[in-house]
Every structure is written in C-alpha cells, then in structure tokens.
C-alpha cells in the first residue's frame, strides 16, 4: 500500500487507516475480541499501518482489543487514541480536558494499549471550560516525557487549531468528511494546508451509506447509533439515494465498487488526507484497501464535482446532542 505524510512533523502512515470503533462500539453489537483481532491482523497483512481507537469506544474495550491485536507488530504501526470525556458508571458523562484528567486518561490508554508511547494523541472534542493552550501545553509535556509522540485534534475549528498549534504543533485534525459531508473543505482545509497539518477523515464512507448497501428498507439493530442520525431517517434516505445512484454509475465506469470510489475520491482531494474507514468484515476491509489503486484524471474529477454539486443531501449528519459538541469557530 502507498504511504502518505500526516502533517509536517515526520509522521508517515499507510494511505488508508483502519477506524477500529465499530469493532466493539456504536455501529451495532460489534464483534468478538477474536474476530476483531482477525480484522486488525488482516489489515496489517494488507499494508495498513495506521489504527485509530479512543478510550470512549466501549468505553475502554476497544483500546484493549487494539492493544492485544497490534502486539506482534507494535513497532511497525502507528496507533492513535483520544482523550476528552469523563465516565460515570461506565457511560460518558461530560467533556473533560483538564490537564490532570488528560494525564489520567493517557496512563489508562497506555495500559490498555500495552504500549510505552501513544503515537498520535487526539483531543476528542474541544472542552469549552479548559483553555486550549492548557490542553496543548499538557500534551507538549507528555511528548517531552516520551509518553506521546504527536498531537492531534478532533472536530476542532480553526481558531482553536491555531491557538493550540502555537503551543504544540498539531500533526493531524480528525473530522468527518466524505462525498456527503464536505464542510471541512470550506472550514478547515486552508488552515491545515497553511500550518502543515494532516487531515484524517472519519466516516469517509458516510457511516456505511456510501457503500451502496443501505437503502430505505435497511433495519439497524437497536444499539446502532445510526437510528438517531437524521440522514438515515427514511424520508431523508429516499432523497439521499440520488448520491448512491451517482456512485453506482461512476463505479461502473471505473470498474470499482461505490466504496472504493468514495475513498479514492477523498484521496484525490489533497495529498495530506488519510481516511480511516472502519468495518467488522474482512471482505469489506479488502474491498476498501482496493481504493488505494484507483486514480482519477482531472476531467473525471471535474465531472464528479459537477454531478455532486447538483445533489442535495437531506438531513443532519448528527443528532442535535452530538452536533452541539462540534467546534466550528
């Protein structure tokens, strides 16, 4: 698999990473630890060297699975995790990026991941109660202590990115981005390019929608968070199927699948973007990795852009309770 540089501080990883959240959290019931480890091992065999997790995924369970899975090849991969939430009775309670809590979270993540150093540490969400300079300064100290290598932010706006970057260089911003959520192009891309910060899109396949396997008859399990996502409500799905029709048409021309096309399109936007699609199925993993070989001519990209501009996406990408934690300033 090709590699890409993530930021300008020296971090280089595979052009596709693996988002590990769904292996144990949020997208339905997840899979057994044994099955999750098989997926991660197969990803490594296919050339994936970038694995994304967080303490909130579970909570905690996902980090433990990732830590056990990567143990045989720890020195050959990059592991990213995140801090930023309090937990009460095993459930997320509120944002918390106080310096003492960051240190507590990092110690927990190191133990669960079974590593001496966290390669890339993200602040999961901006905590309005804690100055971002205090957050970046704490991570800077952790880097000096050898417990962290690189600093990242998630769903952060440009003001906080700039303020944080002035204290400790930010290596990567992680935010949602795909053919059906393109806000980062106008909100953050120019700043990222200016500052030399890489971009890691989560949900690059639109939470599964851009695979073409979801339609108005799809029934999610009761513990699948997509049940509460407006874009997946039936009336909105009927409208949004126009995007799948477009993907299917172009995929035939490119002799690819819709998922491969959607991932390759992301690659074509900027050389410093590394998407992290997640899956619980090895055959889907192998399909996603196939996107690494797809390239577009400028004419093809122009035609896709024109077609996308004519499609109106219906429904919000998050329920209101989640959207309010996104920093857009």
Catalytic positions: 57
CA-based torsion, 322, 324, 325, 329: positive or negative: positive
Q: State the Cα–Cα distance between residues 1 and 279, nearest whole angstrom.
A: 18
User: 49 Cβ partners below 8 Å, 6+ apart?
Assistant: 3, 13, 14, 76, 77, 78
β-pairing verdict for 118-123 and 78-83: parallel
Q: State the Cα–Cα distance between residues 40 and 52, nearest whole angstrom.
A: 11
Tokens of 141: 């100290």
Q: Which of 124, 118, 139 is nearest to 57 (CA)?
A: 124
Question: Mapping DSSP to helix (H, G, I), strand (E, B) and coil, where does residue 311 land?
Answer: coil
Q: State the Cα–Cα distance between residues 323 and 273, nearest whole angstrom.
A: 23
Q: ∠ CA(10), CA(44), CA(295), 5° rounding?
A: 70
Interhelix angle 298-309/258-269, nearest 10 degrees:
110
Residue 192, Ramachandran bin (φ over 0: left; ψ between -120 and 50: alpha; else beta): alpha
- Tokens 């704490």 locate to 138
DSSP 181: B
């Amino acid at each position: 698999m090709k590699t890409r540089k993530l930021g300008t501080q020296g971090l280089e990883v595979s052009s596709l990473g693996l988002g590990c959240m769904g292996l144990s959290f949020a997208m339905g019931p997840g899979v057994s630890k044994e099955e999750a480890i098989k997926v991660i091992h197969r990803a490594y065999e296919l050339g994936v060297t970038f694995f994304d997790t967080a303490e909130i995924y579970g909570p905690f369970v996902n980090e433990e699975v990732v830590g056990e899975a990567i143990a045989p090849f720890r020195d050959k991969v990059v592991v990213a995790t995140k801090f930023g939430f309090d937990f009460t009775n095993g459930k997320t309670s509120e944002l918390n990026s106080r310096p003492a809590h960051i240190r507590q979270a990092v110690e927990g993540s190191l133990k669960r991941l079974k590593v001496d150093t966290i390669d890339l540490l993200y602040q999961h969400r901006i905590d309005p109660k804690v100055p971002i300079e205090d957050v970046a300064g704490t991570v800077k100290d952790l880097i000096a202590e050898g417990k962290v290598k690189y600093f990242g932010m998630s769903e952060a706006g440009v003001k906080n990115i700039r303020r944080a970057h002035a204290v400790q260089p930010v290596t990567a911003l992680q935010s949602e981005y795909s053919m059906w959520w393109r806000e980062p192009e106008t909100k953050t891309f120019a700043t990222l390019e200016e500052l030399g910060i890489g971009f890691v899109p989560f949900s690059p396949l639109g939470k599964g929608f851009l695979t073409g396997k979801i339609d108005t008859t799809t029934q999610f399990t009761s513990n699948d968070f997509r049940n509460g996502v407006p874009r997946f409500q039936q009336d909105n799905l009927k409208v949004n199927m126009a995007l799948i029709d477009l993907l299917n048409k172009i995929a035939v021309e490119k002799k690819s699948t819709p998922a491969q096309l959607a991932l390759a399109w992301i690659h074509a936007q900027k050389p410093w973007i590394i998407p992290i699609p997640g899956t619980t199925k090895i055959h889907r993993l192998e399909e996603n990795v196939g996107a690494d070989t797809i390239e577009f001519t400028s004419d093809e990209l122009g035609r896709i852009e024109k077609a996308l501009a004519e499609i109106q996406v219906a429904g919000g990408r998050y329920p209101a309770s989640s959207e309010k934690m996104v920093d857009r300033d």
